[in-house]
Structure 1
Amino acid sequence: MPATRPLLAFVLALTLAPTAVLAQSDGWRQVWADEFDGDKLDASRWTPAADCGGGGNDERQCYDASPDTVSVKDGLLRLTVVKRKTRGLANPWAGPTGPMKTGDYASGKIVTQGKASWRYGRIEARARVPGGQGVWPAIWMMPELSTYGGWPKSGEIDILETVNLGAPCEACDGGRENRVFGTIHFASDAAGAHRQAGGSTVIPASPDGFHVYAVEWKPEAIAWFVDGREYARVTQKDWKRDDAEAGPAPFDQPFHLILNLAFGGRWPESANAKGVDESALPATMEVDWVRVSQR
């Protein structure tokens, strides 16, 4: 009997955690994850944001860590935007003593900055995103240190963005917004002129609305996936600076993770039905898990 126990344990491990085994296939090894199995946000992995900075995009929400905006329950992280007066720093990048601002909406945003960052890897999340005009969920990455200067010189990697899902869209199948976007942002010259590259795809049908959104980030290329299917790819030549003294590429430094749900902002408010529709609130992005693997 004792000789069978290691085999039994191995079989149980395969049965109960197949995703962990899959994460080590094709040379990838899982190095970090959050399965959101507890009843509160894991403070060793994430820091909730608390500010009214608007992401630099004129977003309308303020972020806080209230139970109605950031919660973990039933194996899911929930980031929710609600209509509620919220006060916070108007410009969090200027430091903790800057001017304050009051917003009409509150929402959730969590970051791994200072706790976990990675240089290259497969970063993936199983998530269900909300719809509505002005609703803007995102899973993305920013440089842990701005080695090459302020945004966009040090880069940005957007793993998942949707805006205004379900709103009228002339360019979309069925006439309704149904796309997911994957994008990198970078500087095209030494002066910091903004450029972006990436792609989009129609979000496939799903029985429960959940999908696995992923990016594979390597020194020579960055590719985006939905449910294991690649839909966009960029290479070093796509983010190469125009000036002769280009220097090193921005996407060769550690980046940390950000999950947030914005409401309003220049992009969603200029697209589809324009502006924001409060009937979409409350809106919630649900995240089943986030995993990081490296070769």
Structure 2
Amino acid sequence: MSRPLAVLAVCSALLAAGPVHARDDWKLVWSDEFNGTALDETKWTPAIDCGGGGNDERQCYADSPETLSVQDGALRLTAIKRKTWGVVNPWAGPTGPLKAGDYASGKIVTQGKFSWRYGRVEARARVPGGQGAWPAIWMMPELSTYGGWPRSGEIDILETVNLGAPCPPVGEACADGRENRVFGTIHFAGDATGAHKQVSASTPLPASPDGFHVYAVEWSPEAIVWFLDGREYARAKPQDWKRDDQPASAAPFDQPFHLIINLAFGGRWPESVNAKGIDEAALPATMEVDWVRVSQLASQD
């Protein structure tokens, strides 16, 4: 999940124009169809913290039926207004100073249970709107092989912020004056000092009868490619993420990454754009995930 995100560099050169036909040589290696009545904790770990995600987000993550549930064949992460306590620094472990937040929400991760290097990860999901709502499906390195963030990279498969909130026209996106974009982004170190750089692109989120869309990334040594409902809308290659002091290479996106799904509320990015700040009228906000699937090619096994 993007951090920090003060200004998005939307790289029009990354945008692709036509539909992409699905390959038939992918092999499913991991999935969760969310068909049970509880989260499968052999695959996921619920987050419990008030760390703010490194973005000054306002929610605390809580493992409670109100914020995290599996029902009617879908994962449901819900942001609500509720005073919640949690650790300030989740990266230091479950102990340490505590803080309280005014909002609670849900987040799940596969770290320590499942990670992979290269492949296709896709999810069918419905995301909420409202000023401050920030749902995301993203990947972080299982181990910080190249150092702390952003040196070891980050791959954001899906992010939306403030859907439906006022939006100044930006090309074809937000043409009706309302936020309607989905973002795909990678974060990495731009030089030997570890200075943060990112490559980001967006595409309008089309209307659908039930609000569900399929978000996907195909990740290989040659490229990271983003799709919405089977249509490619962005592509990055090693030369796009290379460090200024090094030649292009697959690093840091050549290591195993794990999967994260969360619903944040507030934070530096959503609060700095659209109507600014947060709007509690957006709560309760629910992100639903019908399924998530990871596939690999035989050459990636």
Q: Is the shorter-chain TM-score for this pair beyond 0.5, marking a shared fold?
A: yes
Contact preservation (8 Å) 2:221, 2:250: no
For residue 245 of structure 1, report the CA deviation from its aligned partner: 7.7
Q: Distance in 1 between matches of 2:147 and 2:185?
A: 20
For residue 33 of structure 1, report the CA deviation from its aligned partner: 0.4
Residue-by-residue CA offset, 1:251-270 (whole Å, 9 max, x unaligned) = 00000000000000000000
Partner of 1:46: 44
Moved over 4 A (4+): 245-248
Sequence identity of aligned pairs in percent?
A: 79
Residue-by-residue CA offset, 1:90-147 (whole Å, 9 max, x unaligned) = 1111233321110000000000000000100100000000000000000000000000
Higher helix share: 1
Partner of 2:185: 183
Contact preservation (8 Å) 1:180, 1:201: yes
- Larger RCO, structure (CA 8 Å, separation 6 or more): 2
Q: Distance in 2 between matches of 1:161 and 1:274?
A: 17
Q: In structure 2, do the counterparts of structure 1 residues 182 and 246 end up closer, same or farther at CA, with 3 Å as the change threshold?
A: closer
Secondary structure of 2:156's aligned partner: strand
For residue 247 of structure 1, report the CA deviation from its aligned partner: 7.6
Partner of 1:88: 86
For residue 246 of structure 1, report the CA deviation from its aligned partner: 7.7
Q: Distance in 2 between matches of 1:245 and 1:210?
A: 40
1:278-289 matches, within 5 Å, as: 278-289=280-291
Q: Distance in 2 between matches of 1:98 and 1:150?
A: 20
Partner of 1:150: 148
Q: Distance in 1 between matches of 2:175 and 2:248?
A: 41
Secondary structure of 2:253's aligned partner: helix
Unaligned runs of 5+ in 1: 1-23
Give the AA of the match of 2:133: V
Contact preservation (8 Å) 1:165, 1:177: yes
Residue-by-residue CA offset, 1:26-47 (whole Å, 9 max, x unaligned) = 3111100000000000011100
1:75-224 matches, within 5 Å, as: 75-171=73-169, 172-224=174-226
- Bigger Rg, which one: 1
For residue 194 of structure 1, report the CA deviation from its aligned partner: 0.3
Q: How many residues align?
A: 272
Q: Distance in 2 between matches of 1:249 and 1:96?
A: 31
Partner of 1:259: 261
Q: Does 28-37 or 87-96 show the bigger shift?
A: 87-96
Contact preservation (8 Å) 2:239, 2:249: no
Q: Distance in 2 between matches of 1:229 and 1:173?
A: 20
Q: Distance in 1 between matches of 2:66 and 2:281?
A: 17
For residue 248 of structure 1, report the CA deviation from its aligned partner: 6.2
Partner of 1:73: 71
Secondary structure of 2:176's aligned partner: helix
Partner of 1:17: none
Unaligned runs of 5+ in 2: 1-21
Partner of 1:7: none
Residue-by-residue CA offset, 1:164-201 (whole Å, 9 max, x unaligned) = 00000012111000000000000001111000003100
